[in-house]
Amino acid sequence: MSHLLKPLGLTLAITLSLAGCKKEEAPVAAAPTPAAAPAPPVLEGEVDIIAWAGYIERGESDKNYDWVSQFEKNTGCKVNAKTVGTSDEMVSLMNQGGYDLVTASGDASLRLVAGGKVQAIDTSRIPSYGTVDERLQNAPWHTVDGVHYGVPYQWGPNVLMYNTNTFKTAPTSWSVVFEQQKLGDGKSNKGRVQAFAGPIYIADAALYLMSKRPELGIKDPYELNEAQYAAALDVLRAQHALIHHYWQDATKQMSDFKNEGVVASGSWPYQVNALQLDKQPIASVIPMEGATGWADTTMMHSEAKHPNCAYAWMEWSINPKVQGDVASWFGSLPAVPAACQGNALLGADGCKTNGFENFNQIKFWRTPDAKCSDPAGCVPYSRWTTDYIAIMGG
């Protein structure tokens, strides 16, 4: 009988052993509950923007040019725009506060970053950022140590605007606004030309001297040593006797060309387009010396009261349709290359006409700094401001 009990005992031992193993197995965890999707940002109902003339249009000047109304309809964010004429005015208003966004040019943007008046931008909240022109995505006037402080908006040159009744052929040099001379109609340019009221205009004189006086060795109109800077100021002091008006209001400049006998000035394509639309005898050219220019960036105030509407506007602002419409209205170039195609207002050749391929020929506005490529240092913007104010008041 013992030979029957042995297998039975072995079977019982194996069974108990297996049962013990089952007790030691970890319980199966329940499947995790999917996390709820984050709630979309609550839009605050409005956004306050400081902008150059012609940058924020809602169809009041021309019903075809309206990139504000649809944004307001889509988001419920009412757009409040403050138009300004100079970068210094933009910086002053941003320092005062109360605004969400500013369309800052390169001579203001880094001042705003250094002063802590604008905040770093989370590009993940701007899904279309990758569509921005690669030449602008990481541009040094809005990117510091790899951090973005804005979204590119538009760019373009400062052109020489002229009256075609006075100039039967296009002027070829900036000398027509810098040096006293007889113009195409046989009359002197004295009292018939204008200059921009911003201190950054010193760079235009420096650019002119790069060709006029190559022995000065100017390589960058925003990096001037003492001798180069003095020469630029001399040009501007001589110009003062010719000046009808130092302009900063685009509307006022257009009025001066229509009604005050002004026939030549540095200007923006915006004024050229508007005057031509008004059937005025106006054209523009980039002279042989080249041109300064601007690449504008939409930047958010560090204490913006409506940040979610501001992010919504920055995304909207780089929509190809919006970009093409702005470029058509202002005579500028879109920050998004796709905007050059299929825009009824801009036209098939609009980007080519406005100079899309001239990017490398433009000396874009940049805040002059004492620290520069010259080991001896350069004249800082604070002196540009003081000296140019003195010249205008001369």
Task: Please give, one letter per residue, the 3-state secondary structure of 236-294.
Answer: HHHHHCCEEEEECCHHHHHHHHHHCCCCEEEECHHHHHHHHHCCCCEEEECCCCCEEEE
Q: Band of the pLDDT at 29, cuts 50, 70, 90?
A: low
pLDDT for 319 beyond 80:
yes
Mean of the pLDDT values across residues 48-61?
96
- The CA-atom distances, in angstroms, between 340 and each of 110, 152, 235, 308 are 29, 16, 39, 29
pLDDT at 81 over 50: yes
Confidence of residue 316 (pLDDT cuts 50, 70, 90): very high
pLDDT of residue 39: 76
9-18, 129-138, 157-166: which range is least confident on average? 9-18
Query: pLDDT higher for 19 or 301?
Result: 301
Give the pair of three-digit tokens for residue 90. Answer: 């933009």
Mean pLDDT of the 265-271 span: 95
Q: Report the CATH fold assignment for 158-291+368-392.
A: D-Maltodextrin-Binding Protein; domain 2 (3.40.190)
Q: Which residue would you say has higher pLDDT here, 38 or 274? A: 274
What is the pLDDT, as a whole number, of residue 21? 43
pLDDT bracket for residue 34 (50, 70, 90): low
Residues 6+ away with beta carbon under 8 Å from 73: none
pLDDT at 191 over 60: yes
What are the phi and psi torsion angles at 134 (to 5°)? -60, -25
Task: Please report the pLDDT score of residue 35 as a whole number.
Answer: 63
Give the C-alpha separation, 70 to 313, whole Å.
11
Of the listed ranges 16-25, 157-166, 197-206, the least confidently predicted one is: 16-25
Q: Quote the mean pLDDT of the chain.
A: 92
pLDDT recorded at residue 83: 96
Residue 75 confidence (pLDDT) above 50 = yes
Q: Mean pLDDT across the stretch 53-60?
A: 96
pLDDT in tens, 150-185: 999 999 999 999 999 999 999 999 999 999 999 999
Q: Band of the pLDDT at 3, cuts 50, 70, 90?
A: very low
- What lies within 8 Å, CB to CB, of 54 at 6+ separation is 250, 270, 274, 329, 330
pLDDT exceeds cutoff 50 at 13:
no
pLDDT above 70 (res 122): yes
Kindly indicate the confidence band of residue 361, based on its pLDDT and cuts at 50, 70 and 90: confident
Least confident span in 20-34, 239-253, 317-331, 336-350: 20-34
Percent with pLDDT over 70 in the chain: 90
Task: Sketch the domain layout of the chain as residue ranges.
Answer: 46-156+294-363, 158-291+368-392
Task: Calculate the dihedral angle through the C-alpha atoms of 96, 98, 102, 105, rounding to the nearest 10 degrees.
Answer: 0
CATH topology of domain 46-156+294-363: D-Maltodextrin-Binding Protein; domain 2 (3.40.190)
Comparing 373 with 18, which gets the higher pLDDT?
A: 373
pLDDT per position as a tens digit, 211-252: 999 999 999 999 999 999 999 999 999 999 999 999 999 999
